[in-house]
Structure 1
């Protein structure tokens, strides 16, 4: 009898865990400051956390901004993001946590690490390393209850009109910068780091499911690196302007 009770308890515990999945959530709330930092968005860690979660497919808000009604009226519809630091003399170590409204941990990443000496670079690289754990988790929002969209059969003319209306408008202004020098790609877990002749790490690239398309970032900007017409570009936004930096990269 005790054996059957034990089996039943184990089954219930596993069932409860499987139901508490990131797929049950559409929204994530990111604090404006993590506990181990002294300032809001210090080293751009909070902004980077928000951006990486959005890339994964979540709808993300800072906790100091106005929330949509369904979240404001019920915080249990959203996960809360947190980042923990593990002290070390020569290594920066960060772990990403996603918690439900009761404080239960729904997702915990691996320990992302960096041995860079400069704080901003080290924290950014360690956080990106921690986020690679999410690459191994399939995410699809199952919390939304929207009705399925009925297919629309359009004529050639109307289809062209719909297609034109759904294409996002281009930025009003794009600034293109020429390459400053040759960068050399050094393989790391899940991507590359681009170094100059100093040698100094100029940019970190993380692989995506698309060929010749990387999530990219350094101490001052976060964006993408992509290949266009046999040339590489680092693109990101600054003060509302799209900055496109041409790169000379040797892989």
Structure 2
């Protein structure tokens, strides 16, 4: 009897410590992101389970978004402002059992709820019951957003930012090489096509016993770079998946589309990229006849 009591006290202390640590961390996150589809289900928002999960977070004071909807601007720029929730199915015989996991932007586990189970066999009703039951552990955390980040977390974010900047720089160089390689390949293809065309013309002229020289095929005109005033500060307009760049008249100068690397965008309709370097936004394009790079006065 005494051993059982001692075991109960130890488990209670461990559980309280876990909850306390989770509560310390969770209050420093401004948003919660819920996936529109959980891995153990076959479709988006099946049984409206994802909607239920988002509702439970909202009801308990969290600012919640689905992962596929438009995000707030600060979260769009810094995904580490959010925690990422997921409902995970736990293997169980003759019952529906789940847990709710909370992770940070780098996939580190912050908190795991208690397991919740039910013997209700009907999936729609059964899953809704266990998700609500599992969420009771999160209610216990008594979440309240605290914008003050502790030194350890701030240092972690600084280190992650430095690592990300190095990765972004490498990604920029990789994208530049890809653009140059594509342009070189295009030049080779065009030269081969011109050569075949010239040979065909020569054979035709020879067969007709004419002395006319084959006509010289003009090289393709270089792609024009968007005309922008040197000292003009361009306006930006946030869109889904990137930005529109507007000139002083409000006309669209170019459309930037987000790539896998933050601070690197492709220019819609052109073999060009815009990337951040030494605090400036740089437009880089290989026109085939020359390479163009210029600093843009924009704020993204």
In our comparison, the structure showing a higher alpha carbon Rg is: 2
Higher helix residue share: 2
User: RCO greater where, 1 or 2, for CA within 8 Å and sep 6 or more?
Assistant: 1
Q: 1 or 2, which has the higher strand percentage?
A: 1
